[in-house]
Amino acid sequence: MTDVVIPQTVLTYLLKTNTFIHRRLLQFIDDKEKRFYQFLNEFHSETCAERTSLTTEEQFTIDQTINVARFYHRHLEGISGSRKLTITLLTNEANNYPQTDDIDIKSVESYAQEHFGSKNPEIFDLLPTSDRTGIPTTTVPFQPHLSPNEITKLISQNRIVRGYVRMNRYNKYEAQIVSQSLPVSVIVYGQANLNRAIDGDYVAIHLNDRTQWKAVSNRLIPRESPVEITDIEPPPTNLNEQAITDLHPTGQVVGIVRREERSFPGSLIIPPNLKKSSRTQHFMFRPIAPTIPLIAVSVTDPSMYLGKRVSVVIDGWGESEAVPHGHISQVIGDMGVIEIEQESVLQEYQVPHEAFTAPQLDCVPDTDGLDWMREKMEKAGSAMDVDDGDVDEDDDVRWNLTDRPICSVDPVGCRDIDDTIHAAFIFNDSQSELPSLPAPYETHPFIAASSILSQSTLFEFSQDEEAYLELGVHIADVAHFVKQNSALDVEAALRGTTTYLVGKRYDMLPKKLTEELCSLRSNELHCSFSVLWKVDLKTLEIVDAKFNKSVILSCASLTYEAAQTVLDQLEREPIPLNRPQIVRNVTDVLGKATDVTTRTASSLVLCRDAARRLKKGRFDAGALSLSSPQLHFELDAVSHDPVSVEAHAMVEANSMIEEFMLLANIWVARRIYSVFPSFALLRRHPPPPAMGMKWLEDVFETVGLPFDGSSNKALNASLDRASTSKQFTDLFFPTMLKMTATRSMSLALYFASGDLEYSDFIHFGLATPIYTHFTSPIRRYSDLVVHRMLAASLNMDGDSPSPVSIEKGTGMEYDQQSVAAVCANLNRRYKNAKDAGRADAQMNTLRMIWKMQNENKTEMDTNDGKVDTRRMKAYISKVYQNGVVVYIPQFACDVPVLMEDGTDEKTSFKQKVHSFDSRKQKIVCVDLKTKKSKQLTIFQPIFVSIHVSQDTAGYSMDADFLFE
C-alpha cells in the first residue's frame, strides 16, 4: 500500500493513546519508498476544524479527518484532468463517519477483503474482527461500564474515584487500585468486581462501605488455577483501631477511563493434532506477563503460529465474554531463540529500540572540535603544556584539566564511559617547602606525587593556606553534541534511557556518540562537564565548589576489580616516590592489561578516603543502607547463551564511585534550583507509604527486633541493629532484611521543581533535601536536560546568568510545563527499562537451568563452588496461607512454593498446611509422606529443589520444599 496520507490530528491522537502504532507510522513516513505522508491539517486554512468545549476528542478527530479527505478530493480533482481518482478514508470507526458521495469510507477489514483477501487470507489475522464466534462466555454477564459523562458527573459528586489497576502477581483474582485521591490503595477481589479491567488500566471505582474493608490476600493463586475466589479474608465483626490498620478499602470497577492501546507479546495455545479448517477459529493467546489475562484471537491458519512468539492487541471485552478478544499485530519469531525472547521482553515493557533513522544520525557531528588541541599536544609533547589557562572552544570557555590525575572506574566491558573522577593536593607555590599533610597522609609520601602547582588552581588560597585537597567529577559533555529539539534529541527524549539486557545494550543515543565522541576513554582528549570541590585540610570539609565545561585526558579506564586491586596493594605496602608504575598488568574495562602509575594510584587513594568520609556523613544524616542484588552472567562465546550466573559482588571501589556521583548530583541540584526555581529537573524519593512501613514493622516484630520508622535515620538505625544482632547467625539475614525494606519503599520520581513545595523535594533514601541526576547523560535523558540547565545557569561567561538565560537558557528552552512532561515520560521509561532488565535476567537464568536439566545436568560451577539445583539454599521472603515465597540468592529470584490447604484441586502437593498466622508470618506444614511437621517463618533458611519448564508463556520455575 502506497500514497497514504496520515493527518496530523491522527498522529496526535495516537501519541496519546497508542505510542506503538504512532512510532510505526513515523517509521513509515521516514521511509521514502513506502510513500506515507504526514499532513499538517491543523495548520491549513481549508482543513482545520473548530473545537468547542462540547466536542469530544473522538468527534474532533472525525471532523478533522473528514476535512482532510475532502481537501484532497478537491485538490486532486482539479489537477487530474479526465482521470478519475478515488479518495479512500480508512478507519475502524467507519460507522461513526457521515457517508458522502465524494469520499469512499471503509473499514480496514473491508478494504483488505476487497484488495488482498483472495491472495493473502492470513492478512485478516492482523486486523480487528467483528466475528465473536467461539469466544468463551460467562455464566453471569459483567456489569455495563459507565459512560465518560457519567464518570465525570459521579466524580464531581465524590461518589467514585479514579486510579490505576495493579494486579497481584501471586493472585490472579486480586488487584490494588492506586489513586491520588486516597492515602491507601483500594483492593478489588474477583473477576466480577474487576469488571474487565486489566493491569495498567486507568479505571473508575465505586468504594464499598467500611464494614466491607479487607486485608490484602494471603493466598497464592497462580494464573493456571481454575478456581476463582472472590471473598478471601472476611473482615472481623468488631472493627477496632488496631484491626483497621491492616485493612484496605474495597470496591468495584464501574468504568474504564483509559486503556493504553498496546501490544502484548506471548504465544497462542494451539492443541496438538488440530484438524485443518476452512473457517477462521478462535484460540487462546497467553501473554508472557502473568498479570494479563488470556486473550481470544481469531486466526485463519493456526499452523502458522505453532511455536511462534506473536504480539496481540486487545480490541475489546464484551459484557458476556469470559476473556478479552484481540488480533495479532506482529509475528516476532520462534520461541526459545534468545534474540526472539529478548525482543518479547522489550515489547512487553514497551522499550523503544528501533534503529536510529537517517535524519537522527545526521545530527551526530563528525568530530568533537578538539583536533586543534590534539595537534598542539603533539607539538608540545603533552596536553598540559598546550595552555596554562582556559581552553577557548567555539563561544564557550572550557577549563583545561588535562593535568589532573583523572581516571574512570566501571564494570567489565563498559564502552559508554560517561563519568570520571580525580583527587589531588593543590600546593601554594609561594611556600618554600611542601607543607605537612593531614592524617593519614603524612605517612604516605607517594601522595605528594599527585601534587599540582598553584598556577593550575581554580580556587583562591586563603591567607596562610599552604595547600588544599581538590576533588573532581567529570562527566561526558553530551549536550555539546546533542542540540535541543534536533531530530536526535526528540528521539532521545522519547527513549528516556539506555536499557541493559543480558549481553546487550539498547542505547538512548547512537553508538558513535556513546562509544566514541562522548565515551571518556583513557589517553584521549574529551569534552566534559566538571564539578570541582575545595576541601580544607584542617577540617576535611568542603568549603567551595565550581562548575564548568572542560577538556580532560583520562589516565586509565579501570574496572572495579582493578581499582580495588590498586587500593588493596597500596594498603599493604609503602610505595617509593621514584617508581613510575606501582601496579602492573591490571585489566581495563575492555580486558586489556594496563599499568597504573603512581600519579593515578595516589588519586585513587585520595578518592577512596574522601568517599569514606562522604559515606559516613550521609549515614550520620540518616541515609538508608538498602539492598537490591544484581546478577552477573557468563555467556557462551558462540551462542551467547548464559552458562553460569551468580549474584554480582560489590567491592569498596563501587562505593567510592557511588559517593562521588551522589556528591555531584546533590551540588548540581542546588545550583540549577537556585537559578531555575520553577522548572529545575529534580529527583525525589518520597517517604515510604503507611502500608509499607506497617508491613516492615510487622516483619521486625515477627523476628523479635525493635523497630523505629519515625524517620529515615531511625529506620536505618533499626536496620543496623538488626544486622548486628547476635540472635541471627545466618550471614544472609541482613541482606534479606534490607531487601524487605527496599520493597517497602516508594519509587523515586523525576519532577519539575515548580510543581511541589521545597519540603516535598526530599530524597528519603539518600537523606538529602534536594537531588537530581547529572552524572550519566550518555544513558539517561534526565541528565542531558540537567546539563543544559547547568550550562545555562553559568551562562558560560561567568558565575551569574543574564536575565535572558534565566528565562530561556543558553541554548536551551524549558519551562515548568515542558519539564513536567519530560519527567512524566522519564518516570515511565526508567521504570520500564529497569523492569525489562530484571525480567530478561530472570528469563536467561531460567533458560540456562532449563537447558541444563534437558541435558540431565543438575550442577553448575560458581565462584563459591558447585551449586546443585536439586538442593538449593533459599530464604522465606513471604508466608501465605497455602504456601511460602522463597528467595534464592544464587539466582536473585523469588519462587512460590505451594502447599495443600484443602481448597486447591492440585493433587501433587508434597506438604499440607496445618496452621497459618498472618501477623507473625508463620506457617506449620505437614509432610504428606513422612507425616512430620515443621514450622516455617519469614527469613528462615530452607532448602528447595527447583525445576524449570517451558510453555507458551515462556520459562517458569517450580520449587519443592525439602523436608529435612
pLDDT reported for residue 165 = 96
Taking residues 262-283, report their average pLDDT: 84
pLDDT reported for residue 126 = 76
CB 812 within 8 A of CB 789: yes
Comparing CA positions, the residue from 260, 311, 261, 303 lying closest to residue 285 is: 311
Distance between CA atoms of residues 301 and 69, nearest Å: 36
Between 430 and 797, residue with greater pLDDT: 430
Taking residues 712-725, report their average pLDDT: 88
Query: In this model, does residue 805 exceed pLDDT 70?
Result: no
Local structure of 680: helix, strand or coil: coil
Query: In this model, does residue 868 exceed pLDDT 90?
Result: no
DSSP secondary structure string for all residues of 891-943: TTEEEEEE-B-SS------SEEEEEEETTTTEEEEEETTT--EEEEETT-EEE
Query: In this model, does residue 270 exceed pLDDT 70?
Result: yes
DSSP secondary structure string for all residues of 87-116: -EEE-TTGGGSPP-SS-EEE-HHHHHHHHT
Q: pLDDT averaged over the chain? A: 84
Comparing CA positions, the residue from 175, 208, 212, 220 lying closest to residue 194 is: 175
Query: In this model, does residue 130 exceed pLDDT 70?
Result: no
Stretch among 379-388, 459-468, 629-638 having the lowest mean pLDDT: 379-388
CB 836 within 8 A of CB 500: no
- Give whichever of 368-382, 452-466, 785-799, 925-939 has the largest mean pLDDT: 925-939
Distance between CA atoms of residues 310 and 285, nearest Å: 9
Between 734 and 203, residue with greater pLDDT: 203
Three-state SS letters, 790-801: HHHHHCCCCCCC
Sequence-ordered list of residues with C-beta below 8 angstroms from that of 556, at least 6 positions apart, any chain: 407, 408, 522, 588, 594, 596, 597, 600
pLDDT > 90 in the chain, percent: 44
Sequence-ordered list of residues with C-beta below 8 angstroms from that of 381, at least 6 positions apart, any chain: none
CA 204 to chain centre: 27
In which element (H, E) is residue 834 found?
A: helix 816-854
pLDDT > 70 in the chain, percent: 87
Comparing CA positions, the residue from 957, 952, 956 lying closest to residue 334 is: 952
Distance between CA atoms of residues 673 and 284, nearest Å: 53
CB 744 within 8 A of CB 695: yes
DSSP class of residue 513 equals I
Between 573 and 33, residue with greater pLDDT: 33
pLDDT reported for residue 804 = 37
Distance between CA atoms of residues 520 and 527, nearest Å: 8
